[in-house]
Amino acid sequence: MNFAFAKKARKLSGLAIFSSIVGLTLVSILPWVSETTTDAGGKNLTIYHNIVTIDMSYNEQINVLAGDIRLIIDFFWLIIIFGLLSFVGTIIYVSDKHPRLAQVSLLLGCLTIIFSILVVFVNWSWIQKIGTMETISASPLFGVSNIPIKYAHLPLAMGVISLIGSGLYTWLILSSSIKPFIGSKKQKEPVEKLRVQEPKTRQPIQKLPVGEKQDSYRRIQTRSFEFEKESPIEKPYAEEEYSKPEQKQHLEPRKPIPTKQPFPLKKSLDIEETYGNSSAAEELSSRQDEPPSTSPLFEKALYSAIEKKQMEINKEKTDKKQQPAKKKISVRCPQCKYILSVEKGEGITKIKCPKCGKEGVIK
């Protein structure tokens, strides 16, 4: 789940919705058409018409234009509805619940681009169409005929903004939907190659004496720290990489380090603060991104700790192994002749007869 992706999708969808709402309002408010007529005295009159008065007009040419404006209104509504669906899709996507529903909602939001294109196309063709007519024309902005911008251009501008928003949204959604398929194709090949190489590169596990075992374990641990900076796909192949000769050089035994040097530590450091305070921990964690610099003192301390831990683990294992299995034996009480079953471990086991209460030991 990608929050940045969802946030971007929400913003773009919001842009398309808001511009459509404004466009819808402008379509209903603005005077689209100006009609030039002559009055009884032969004087030229200009009448402005909006969507309401267009319907009332007796001029057939104006009535024809009304159909296109109604189409623009319908398309704006459709952009709003599908945009709102995509809005809901983003929150479902972020919540990680119902991923299918989220995907469908987000994809439905892509339909806004079609309606945005239609809005722009119908609006533009409307302006072109009215330009060819004689008695009627597109109303100039504020009634100033010198200005090339008409009122009809304002909803067109909203349509263009909506188109930009929905276009970017569609690109974002579709590219993210296609990405996994492309990614899977690209990844398939190297994974298969690695699988083929696997039996060749894997070394048989050799039994080593305890001392050598610990030493090799220490080396592997050291290597694994360096793998932390590598991509996660490479981590499982850490062992294979370890077996490469050029990396073996890196794992040569290190020179002895003077132990009397103090551990680099700030005097004011408090353990509780360092580990209890999340901000301090975050600060430390942010340092993980920096390239590691070698500290021989720390390595030495690390080796000793790993050795210590390994020893403890080995000891636990050996203790478990060495624990003798308890034998179940039957013993007859010398006093009451009652036969009782006893679990006998190593050494002396004390027993007590449940019938007469006589105590004794088994050696």
Please identify which residue in the block is written with the tokens 């301090």.
280
Of the candidates 106, 113, 115, the residue with the CA atom closest to the CA atom of residue 84: 106
**Number of residues this chain uses to bind another protein (CB under 8 A):** 77
Question: Of the two residues 220 and 342, which places its CB atom closer to another protein in the complex?
Answer: 220
Q: Where are the alpha helices (DSSP H) in 202-231?
A: 210-227
Take residue 284 and report the two structure tokens written for it: 């430390």
Query: 116 near 167, Cβ under 8 Å?
Result: yes
Task: Considering the complex, state which of residue 196 and residue 271 has its C-beta at the smaller distance from another protein.
Answer: 271
Binding status of residue 171 toward another protein by CB under 8 A: no
Nearer to another protein, 95 or 175 (CB): 95
Q: Where are the beta strands (DSSP E) in 109-239?
A: 136-138
Position 298 contacts another protein (CB under 8 A): yes
CA dist., res. 278 & res. 280, Å (int) = 5
Query: What is d(CA 223, CA 201) in angstroms, rounded to the nearest whole number?
Result: 17
Q: How far is CA 61 from CA 35, 36, 330, in A?
A: 10, 13, 116
DSSP letter, residue 353: -
- The stretch among 88-96, 121-129, 175-183, 244-252 that binds another protein (CB under 8 A) is 88-96
What is the nearest approach in angstroms of another protein to the Cβ of residue 90?
7
Question: CB of residue 83 vs another protein: minimum separation in angstroms?
Answer: 9
Exposure of 228 by Cβ count < 10 A (0-12 exposed, 13-18 middle, 19+ buried)?
exposed
Q: Which two tokens stand for residue 357?
A: 């209460």
Q: Report the 10 Å Cβ neighbour count for 32.
A: 27
Q: How far is the CB of 64 from another protein (least distance, A)?
A: 19
**Minimum distance of another protein from residue 237's CB (angstroms):** 10
Q: Which region among 6-14, 107-115, 161-169, 351-359 touches another protein (by CB under 8 A)?
A: 6-14
Binding status of residue 107 toward another protein by CB under 8 A: no
The reply on whether position 278 binds another protein by CB under 8 A is yes
Tell me: does residue 60 bind another protein (CB under 8 A): no
Q: Is 261 in the site for another protein (CB under 8 A)?
A: no
Q: Is residue 149 within the footprint of another protein (CB under 8 A)?
A: no
Closest CB to another protein among residues 51, 65: 51
Site membership for another protein, residue 269 (CB under 8 A): yes
Query: CA-CA distance, 278 to 244, in Å (whole number)?
Result: 40
- 311: contact with another protein by CB under 8 A: no
Q: Report if residue 342 touches another protein, rule: CB under 8 A.
A: no
What is the nearest approach in angstroms of another protein to the Cβ of residue 124? 22
**Residue 221 is a binding residue for another protein (CB under 8 A):** yes
197 binds another protein (CB under 8 A): no
Amino acid of residue 67: G
Rounded to a whole number of angstroms, the minimum distance from the CB of residue 184 to another protein is 24
Q: Which is nearer to another protein, 270 or 343 (CB)?
A: 270
Longest dimension (CA), the chain: 146
User: Which of 99, 131, 190, 236 is close enough to bind another protein by CB under 8 A?
Assistant: 236
Specify the residue, 10 or 75, whose C-beta has the smaller distance to another protein: 10
In the complex, least distance from residue 202 CB atom to another protein, rounded to whole angstroms: 14
- In the range 11-40, which residues lie near another protein by CB under 8 A? 14, 17-18, 21, 24-25, 28-31, 34
Instruction: Give, as one character, the DSSP assignment of residue 140.
Output: B
CB atoms under 10 Å from CB of 160, counted, come to: 18
Taking the complex as a whole, the smallest distance from the CB of residue 42 to another protein amounts, in Å, to: 16
Q: Give the CA count within 13 Å in the CB-facing half-sphere of 328.
A: 2
- Strand, coil or helix: what is 168? helix
57: phi then psi, degrees, rounded to nearest 5: -65, 150
235 binds another protein (CB under 8 A): yes
CA–CA gap between residue 93 and residue 3 (Å, rounded): 9
